[in-house]
Chain A
Amino acid sequence: MAQMNMKEAIRDAMRVELKNDPNVYIFGEDVGKVGGVFRATEGLQGEFGEDRVFDTPLAESAIAGMAVGMGIQGFRPVAEIQFVGFIYEALDQMFVQAARMRYRSGGRYNSPIVFRTPFGGGVKAAELHTDSLEGLAIQTPGIKVIVPSNPYDAKGLLVAAIRDNDPVFFMEHLNLYHAFRAEVPEEAYTVEIGKANVVREGSDVTIIAYGLMVHTAVKAADELEKSGIKAEVIDLRTLVPLDIETIVASIKKTNRAIVVQEAQKTSGAAAEIIAQINENAILHLEAPVLRVAGPDTVYPFAQVEDAWLPSTARIVKAVNQVINF
């Protein structure tokens, strides 16, 4: 066991898989020599050589498209898109070409690719660096969507993603890269894709969250406890496939739920989760399921970011609304 922050755990996942599987290749803008703008691939080129870990020209569509071409030749590319807002340049290759390869070819070809990208607010970054674009991926058939919230899950989920024979959109929250350290095994291990995690047990209300919002939700739960409300917090970890079973099991116990997402309110993950709760657990609900989300504006200017992002106070308020419904 070692103490690692999430960035180090992500790097370690790539390191163990580069070692385990000669078909794993890592590439993107500045991921080679310097090891990425966040150093998430630092040292990997030194250890595994320029053949396995390499820099590319600055063109996201070609990075993703090259991964698709390498994928059908038996390689397992881990392609980095430097910041989430730049995935728009690569959407056709990620969400059309890679996501449809198995289906279009009736299983003849597949896309065993991980598209890694940092995202997430609270770091006062420049425009289009921090948007939560998981909603685009969620509504795209054929690609799995993973958003880890801690170092242990990040490593285990990334190893699982690299070993998955279908494409994975792997979103790394900027605000969690260096937020804290945790125990992470040094060997390879996997965390199952599609399995949520109950990070805090409670009996009065279920708070469903992912990414940074898991931590905001846990803080809100601490506060709620002071007024005697016991909140259960679920870290989804994977948005596609969604672990609706864990959510329903929790709601059967608490009969109340809210969903917290950093993304804008309309559409996105929360709407889908609430729809599935309606389909699977309506008779167990004592109140409507509410959303805590960003307002439906363009991602905020850095100066107003803190006010815009879902806060502990807004989560507490939403929980009180469903408790007092």
Chain B
Amino acid sequence: MSKLPYEVQSEPVTPLSVLSPEGEVVNEAYLPNLTDDQLKEIMYRMVFTRTWDERAVNLGRQGRLGFYAPVSGQEASMVGSEYALNKDDFVCPGYRDMPQIVWHGLPLYQAFLYSRGHQHGGQIPEGVHVLMPQIIIGAQILHATGVAMAFKKKGEKRVAITYTGDGGSSEGDFYEGMNFAGAFKLPVIYVVQNNGYAITTPYEKQTAAQSIAHKALAAGIRGVQVDGMDVLAVIKAVSEAAERGRNGEGATLIEMITYRYRPHSMADDTTKYRTKDEEGEWSLKDPLVRFGKYLEKKGLWSDEETARVKEEAKATVNEHIKKAEATEKMTVSGLIDSMFEHTPAHLEAQKADFQ
């Protein structure tokens, strides 16, 4: 049925892809301008992140890590989006977005401490512009909005970026954040990593919207959709959004179509809601394979290189998990002292029960 003139129109959107699954450039016009060294660095980070993820799952099974949300499959959207930022841009991550804040500067052992439930995991070093991962889905979206407001008020050419999943786009805070950014024209990037599932709930049960990118229309900000398994498309979209933010052109919502090969968390069983066919189909889109093929054709990468990075990553993970395990144990007195700038008398008195 054709739309009536007084009916809101919304055209379907095609996700931005730069590379085909075979690693061929399919969209020359949107190829980001990167040097060979930069291309290799991006691949290095994606392989490193995949290896770290595999190790983290095993460390979790051994009881050496606690809460952990796997990331395999989402390397392009995570690593690529962070790579497109400047170091002084500010990252407000969700609980799955550990790779972005580690590549933005959080030491890996602190990421492990966060997983193990140690306060030092959240003590972000000075000069690293990130928040610790957010557990309340949607809350980080408002923090990024506030950070962007601060950048705008200070006249700084910086952007805030925040991440949520497809499920998170149903939260009120998701809409409120984007709407504030629209009203105040803030330099902020809202990334939705749409991996098709919020734990067991598929996209179709989350929303009847034809895409999450379309939700930008409700806030009057720019919305784009990207092939989230294509790291060059991700970098292109985020660089462009950051540029617009810095130039005072406002906020962007970027929906990245992606997939997680592993469960939602260590407590999840994907066999109850996903099919082998589906998993097989997405494995053909593996961001590491696709980008690896592209680099191989350019003579910049090889299987040996991948093997070398994996070994290096394993060694680094080992070193950092040991450092995490060797970190001084927390005390209740220490927790009490971290509540306020000046510990009030009633809290001071409560320390006595723990000495």
| Minimum CB distance partner of A71 in chain B | B146
- The interface residues of chain A lying within 8 Å CB-to-CB of B92 are 69
With contact pairs A61-B172, A166-B341 given, residues A72 and B131 touching in the complex (Cβ less than 8 Å) = yes
Give the A interface residue count (CB, 8 A): 42
Partner-binding segment picked from B149-157, B253-261, B308-316? B149-157
A93 and B176 alpha carbons, distance in the complex (Å)? 13
- Against B, the Cβ 8 Å flags (1 = close, 0 = not) of A26-70 are 000000000000000000000000010000110101101111111
A157 to chain B, nearest CB (A): 15
With contact pairs A56-B180, A69-B150, A166-B341 given, residues A106 and B173 touching in the complex (Cβ less than 8 Å) = no
Q: Does A241 contact B (CB under 8 A)?
A: yes
Q: Does B132 contact A (CB under 8 A)?
A: yes
With contact pairs A68-B143, A69-B149, A73-B151 given, residues A166 and B119 touching in the complex (Cβ less than 8 Å) = no
Q: Quick one: which of A61, A74, A109 contacts B131, CB cutoff 8 A?
A: A109
Whether B120 and A92, one on each chain, are in contact in the complex, defined by CB atoms closer than 8 angstroms, is: no
A319 to chain B, nearest CB (A): 27
With contact pairs A61-B172, A73-B151 given, residues A97 and B338 touching in the complex (Cβ less than 8 Å) = no
| Minimum CB distance partner of A105 in chain B | B122
Q: Does B136 contact A (CB under 8 A)?
A: yes
A137 to chain B, nearest CB (A): 15
Q: Quick one: which of B119, B147, B335 contacts A73, CB cutoff 8 A?
A: B147
For chain B, give the interface size range.
35 or more
Most buried by A among B144, B172, B339: B339
- Against B, the Cβ 8 Å flags (1 = close, 0 = not) of A110-140 are 1000000000000000000000000000000
With contact pairs A61-B142, A62-B177, A106-B338 given, residues A69 and B123 touching in the complex (Cβ less than 8 Å) = no
Q: Does B159 contact A (CB under 8 A)?
A: no
- The interface residues of chain B lying within 8 Å CB-to-CB of A106 are 119-120, 122-123, 338
| Minimum CB distance partner of A60 in chain B | B176
Q: Does A165 contact B (CB under 8 A)?
A: yes
Whether B132 and A104, one on each chain, are in contact in the complex, defined by CB atoms closer than 8 angstroms, is: yes
Q: Quick one: which of A56, A64, A74, A97 contacts B136, CB cutoff 8 A?
A: A97
Q: Does B183 contact A (CB under 8 A)?
A: yes
Query: Which residues of B209-267 have CB atoms within 8 Å of chain A's CB atoms?
Result: none
Q: Quick one: which of A64, A105, A142 contacts B123, CB cutoff 8 A?
A: A105
A59 and B141 alpha carbons, distance in the complex (Å)? 14
Whether A102 and B340, one on each chain, are in contact in the complex, defined by CB atoms closer than 8 angstroms, is: yes
A96 and B135 alpha carbons, distance in the complex (Å)? 11
A242 and B345 alpha carbons, distance in the complex (Å)? 9
A105 and B131 alpha carbons, distance in the complex (Å)? 8
Whether A70 and B180, one on each chain, are in contact in the complex, defined by CB atoms closer than 8 angstroms, is: no
Q: Quick one: which of A51, A194, A244 contacts B153, CB cutoff 8 A?
A: A51
Q: Quick one: which of B150, B176, B347 contacts A59, CB cutoff 8 A?
A: B176
- Against A, the Cβ 8 Å flags (1 = close, 0 = not) of B166-187 are 0000001100110110010000
Query: Which residues of A235-260 have CB atoms within 8 Å of chain B's CB atoms?
Result: 241-242, 244-245
Most buried by A among B122, B177, B345: B122
| Minimum CB distance partner of A59 in chain B | B176
Q: Does B139 contact A (CB under 8 A)?
A: yes
- Against A, the Cβ 8 Å flags (1 = close, 0 = not) of B105-137 are 000000000000001101110000001100010
A71 and B145 alpha carbons, distance in the complex (Å)? 12
| Minimum CB distance partner of B338 in chain A | A103
Whether A66 and B180, one on each chain, are in contact in the complex, defined by CB atoms closer than 8 angstroms, is: yes
| Minimum CB distance partner of A164 in chain B | B341
Whether B139 and A242, one on each chain, are in contact in the complex, defined by CB atoms closer than 8 angstroms, is: no
Whether A65 and B346, one on each chain, are in contact in the complex, defined by CB atoms closer than 8 angstroms, is: no
B348 to chain A, nearest CB (A): 10
A59 to chain B, nearest CB (A): 4
- The interface residues of chain B lying within 8 Å CB-to-CB of A177 are none
| Minimum CB distance partner of B330 in chain A | A106
Q: Does A226 contact B (CB under 8 A)?
A: no
Q: Does B76 contact A (CB under 8 A)?
A: no
A241 and B336 alpha carbons, distance in the complex (Å)? 14
- The interface residues of chain B lying within 8 Å CB-to-CB of A109 are 124, 131
Whether A93 and B179, one on each chain, are in contact in the complex, defined by CB atoms closer than 8 angstroms, is: no
- The interface residues of chain A lying within 8 Å CB-to-CB of B120 are 106
Q: Does A75 contact B (CB under 8 A)?
A: yes
- The interface residues of chain A lying within 8 Å CB-to-CB of B180 are 56-57, 59, 62, 66
A264 and B124 alpha carbons, distance in the complex (Å)? 42
Whether A97 and B143, one on each chain, are in contact in the complex, defined by CB atoms closer than 8 angstroms, is: yes
Most buried by B among A66, A102, A165: A66
- The interface residues of chain B lying within 8 Å CB-to-CB of A65 are 139, 141-143, 145-146, 173, 176-177
Whether A62 and B145, one on each chain, are in contact in the complex, defined by CB atoms closer than 8 angstroms, is: yes
A105 and B338 alpha carbons, distance in the complex (Å)? 9
Whether A69 and B148, one on each chain, are in contact in the complex, defined by CB atoms closer than 8 angstroms, is: yes
Given contacts A65-B176, A105-B123, 6 further A-B contacts (CB under 8 A): A65-B141, A65-B143, A66-B145, A73-B147, A105-B122, A105-B124
Contact sample, A vs B, 21 pairs, CB 8 Å cutoff: A25-B153, A57-B183, A61-B172, A61-B173, A62-B142, A62-B179, A66-B149, A69-B144, A69-B149, A71-B146, A73-B146, A73-B147, A73-B150, A96-B136, A103-B338, A104-B132, A109-B131, A141-B339, A142-B340, A164-B341, A194-B345
Chain A: residues with CB nearer than 8 A to chain B? 25, 51, 56-57, 59, 61-62, 64-75, 92-93, 96-97, 102-110, 141-142, 164-166, 194, 241-242, 244-245
Shortest 7 CB-CB contacts between residues of A and residues of B:
A69-B146, A65-B142, A73-B150, A241-B344, A62-B176, A106-B123, A66-B146
